[in-house]
Copies of this chain bind each other. A is one copy, B any other.
């Protein structure tokens, strides 16, 4: 019997934001897989879980999840080699009949590297049993901390990775709420676009929502030129 792969969102940082289901499955499975090798909190998912669940008796696999920043990156062959190693490791555990939890911060369907693994696993074994357990996304956690409604009644919501700075003005014109993800590298450009649209005072910056060092800043112009956290976003609510 091939093992089941549980893909578990562990939420944005506060361990109490794990779901009951996530906590139960993590307690039950003998093996946990977590991405490693990325500068930004590669072991953040693991550190969140460790605060409330003892992992001492479990087999922890830290696997390479090389990231493409866009779908058109050039260095695909090196990425492919590393990915193939990760896929082989995961498949080896499952083939031995062991259930595994792949843990990821936030929610697995919202900009999580898991889906790269998913498509590769399915290629090798289309009948693999994979269950995705949703987690609290940083988007909802940030809105909660800033006390912003992302949408009410007939309002439209857009979520943009900040790499799409060129699209911001058009999206601001047509949507009621715009969530700009990972703004740390393009923040001054974002301020520029918000100023142009007259929406700077409708924007809130949220960093590390729900964590001890959380920041919620309404006067976002004061952040211009500053070094910002990787886990940050701007929510614009007209």
Contacts and interface: CB of A to CB of B under 8 A. Distances in A.
B148 A153 contact: no
B154 A107 contact: no
A144 interface: yes
B150 A161 contact: no
A151 interface: yes
A83 to B, nearest CB: 14
B161 A158 contact: no
Contact of A140 (B15, B16, B134, B167): B134
A135 B132 contact: no
Contacts of A171: 156
B159 A156 contact: yes
Interface in A118-150: 118, 130, 132-137, 140-141, 143-145, 147-150
A110 interface: yes
A70 interface: yes
Given A70-B154, A154-B161, A158-B159, 20 more contacts: A14-B21, A17-B20, A18-B19, A18-B20, A20-B23, A20-B52, A69-B154, A70-B153, A71-B153, A71-B154, A107-B140, A108-B144, A118-B149, A132-B145, A134-B141, A135-B136, A137-B140, A151-B161, A155-B161, A156-B167
25 contacts: A15-B20, A16-B19, A17-B19, A17-B134, A19-B19, A20-B20, A20-B23, A20-B52, A70-B154, A109-B149, A110-B151, A111-B152, A132-B143, A132-B145, A134-B136, A134-B144, A135-B136, A136-B136, A137-B137, A137-B140, A153-B161, A156-B158, A156-B161, A156-B167, A158-B175
